[in-house]
Every structure is written in C-alpha cells, then in structure tokens.
Amino acid sequence: MSAAIHRTGLEALHDGEGQPHVSRALDVERIRLDFPILSERIHGRKLVYLDNAATSQKPRAVIDAIVHYYEHDNANIHRGVHALSVRATEAHDAARETVRRFINAPSARQIVFVRGATEAINLVAQAYGSEHVGAGDEILITAMEHHSDIVPWQILCEQNGARLRVAPIDDSGELRLEEFEKLMGPRTRLVAVAHVSNALGTINPVRRIIEIAHRRSVPVLVDGAQAVPHLPVDVQALDCDFYAFSGHKVYGPTGSGVLYGKTGLLEAMPPYQGGGDMIRSVTFEKTTYNVPPYKFEAGTPDIAGAIGLGAALDYVMALGMDRVAAHGQDLLAYATERVSAIDGVRLIGTAPHRAGVLSFLVGDIHPHDLGTVLDQEGIAIRTGHHCAQPVMERYGVAATARASFAVYNTREEVDALVAGILKAREVLG
C-alpha cells in the first residue's frame, strides 16, 4: 500500500493478493483527519458540518495543491516558454485529465473548465441555445430543478421567444416519467435535468430520460452538481450530451467547475465569451477561434482552482466512488430513520432513490429558528428555500431544514442532529 493512499484516509485498498476490497467501508475516522476545518469549535462545541450540499469542506490535499501551485509553479498558462509557464500549463492539463477520468469522458478536450455548474448551464443555454432554440421551440426541465437550471433557460426563452416546459413530480419528489415523456414534443429542442435534486435528494433516472430524449434526437444536459459527490458518474454510460458540475461540492475549491460536452456539439457551438486563449488568430477583419475546450475558456482561467479540483477528484477516486456512495447511502438511511422518528417531523422528499440530502420540517418550528438552535450546538445545516423555490411551492412550504452528508460525516453526527432537534423543540416549544 502506498503512503499516498494512507494519507487520503483510506483503509487498505488491496489485500495480500492485490485484489481490491471494493466492499470495505470508508475509514471515516481517518478521513476526518484529512479535513483541517473539522477540528474547529463552534460556540464552544465540536463542529458537526451537515451543510455539504451547499458546499463541502476541503481536504488537506486540496489546500496543499493550491498552496504548492502558488508557492512553486505560478505563471500564466499556454503562453510563456519559461519553465514556470510550462509547469503551470502541465498542472492545469493534468487537472483536466483527472476530471476526464472522474466522469469517464472519452477525451480531455471535452472538459471545459468553468466557475461552477451555474456557469456551465449558462454556457450551454447561450452558446448552444442561441443557434438551436428559436421562436416557438421548447426546452423541457423538471419541477425539481435548482434555480441555476431554470433561470438560464428562462433568459434564453426570453431572448429567442422559446417556451419552458416543466415536467411534474409526485408527492414523494419523484419525476413523473410518463408526464415527462408526454411533454417531449416536436418542438422540444433540449432537455435539462438534475441528476440529483438539491432540495429533495431525489436521484433522477437520467439514463432513461436520455433514452427517451434521444429517441427524438433531443440532446440532454444533466446538472450533476449534487450527484458527483455521491455517485460514480460515467458520461459515456449515461450517453448525456452535456454534464455540468461544481468543484466546490465535491471537496474542490469554490469557483471551479466543469462542463462536459459531446465533441460534435462542442465543436459546432459558437464561443461563449470572447477574449484571450479562445482564439487561433485575431485581426480586425477576422478572428478564428480555438478548438474546444479552449474556445470556451476566454481569459486567464482559475488555474489554481482547476488544480485544486484535480486534487479533490484524485482524493475521492482514491477513496473509491463506490465506497463513497455506499457511505452516503448508509448515513442517509440512518438519518432518515432517526429524524423521521421524531414526533412532528415531516420529511420533504421521500423518493425511493435518494442521495446526500435530508429535507424536513419539525412541527410548527420555522427552519430558520431550528437552524439557529442547531448552530448553537455546533451543528451546521441549511435552512431556507435551497434556491429551489418552485419545489418549496410544490410542497406548500416557504422553507425547509436540510441536512446533507459527506465522506467525513458519521452516525454519531446524525445522533447529534437528532439531539439538537429535540433541544430546539424544547427551546422553541
């Protein structure tokens, strides 16, 4: 076993025969040591961080990669002949290759670095949408989308006279697939769907959604922001046309993110922004554009952010995404059981297939008040509408409390959450 694997908090990856023990659970106690922030004390209490769907904490490996870059390799990429520029370019390229491996994309040229899932979706809405979505055309999304997978399409619709169609969900928070299929019409030009809902935790059947859309030659964008921290993602197996995710929700730095696209689509799309690095040659008469992904990466990118993201994905891949997923499922099942057993708790989002997120209400207690009481106990959760106001409206609530999990969370922390909820009932009785 290599020292590097040890440092990532992983239990033995291999037995004496060198065969992987895929079924073995994560060594969470060791993983916790990789995250410096977990030793913070909040209001004199041990931090219990359960707001991972908003942003995850960063392992030492990510922080070190960023510091190392600035201390040893910092220079602009794709420009200089000097040693530092070469090193920076190589590190940036290596990060792109790591992302490719993480989602099993055919080529690193299909990996566009962006600021986050939001920018990835805006990029597709503008660069793809401007040429393929016209007056009277339709874009189909679902009722569980995050605002970042609603508003970019509304902007496009406003610009081009297109129409946004919304496939409904049932009371459990599951997509009504037959209704979705009915809404696929002759004018549907694009489908955009969350892989995992940030407010409900629902895992959408994206493979089937993509099959349905492809039967009608409609491309599909998958918003994977909440999926990549919890599920192994293979864009080739999914056959999605675009896949968007944020780095900061999967242990990477804020401001890092990825758009994956099929080569033919990326090549045919016009640029998103103009500037340096996205061009082949510029004259005042005519500018020729660079090839993807550079065509979509105008200006000096967040080089350190991409390198940090690469380190984050290396980290979770070393843990093993199958085991990361299993750990998340175990915690979510345990939390669902413990929290729903509390008198007066109503779960929002009870679909059979969920990941990462437990949304709930406690009697008449407003989530904001609950969040304040939990914070005093050192427990961080999200309270509010989770940037998914249409979901809140669907359930007739203004806000929910949301606990969301990561590789470093434990069943003891779920117990602390339960104790905190009971305390809130006492204080706010």
Partner 1 sequence: MTELNELYQEVILEHSKAPRNFRRPATTNHTAEGYNPLCGDRYTVFLDLEGNAIRDIGFQGAGCAISKASASMMTQLVKGKTKAEAEKLFEGFHRMVTGEAGNGDELGKLAVFAGVRKFPARVKCATLAWHTLQSALDGKQEAVSTE
Interface residues with partner 1 (CB under 8 A)? 364-369, 372-373, 376, 383-385, 389, 392, 398-399, 427-429
- Residue 384 CB neighbours (<10 A): 18
For partner 1, which is the closer residue by CB, 37 or 398?
398
Pairing of strands 188-194, 41-42: unpaired
User: Which residue type, as a one-letter code, is found at position 361?
Assistant: L
Supply 74's token pair. Answer: 């910092």
240 as an active site residue: the answer is: no
The pair of three-digit structure tokens given for residue 298, joined into one six-digit string: 């105008």
Q: Which is nearer to partner 1, 184 or 392 (CB)?
A: 392
Q: For residues 225 and 399, which CB has a smaller minimum distance to partner 1 in the complex? A: 399
State how far the alpha carbon of 118 is from the alpha carbons of 95, 115, 225, 229, 284, in Å: 20, 8, 9, 16, 32
Pick the closer one to partner 1 by CB: 263 or 372.
372
Compute the least distance from the CB of residue 179 to partner 1, in Å: 27
- In the complex, least distance from residue 126 CB atom to partner 1, rounded to whole angstroms: 25
| Sheet of strand 357-362: strand arrangement | 345-347, 357-362, 400-404, 382-384
Minimum Å gap between C-beta 386 and partner 1 is: 10
Contacts of 81 (CB under 8 A, 6+ apart): none
Q: Would you say how long the chain is, in residues?
A: 429
Residues 6+ apart with CB under 8 A from 6: none
Q: Element (H or E) spanning 170, and its range?
A: none
CB of 428 to partner 1, least distance (A): 6
Q: Choose between 261 and 384: whose C-beta lies nearer to partner 1.
A: 384
User: Catalytic one among 220, 387, 403, 416?
Assistant: 387
**Cα separation of 429 and 421, whole Å?**
11
Q: What are the catalytic residues?
A: 387
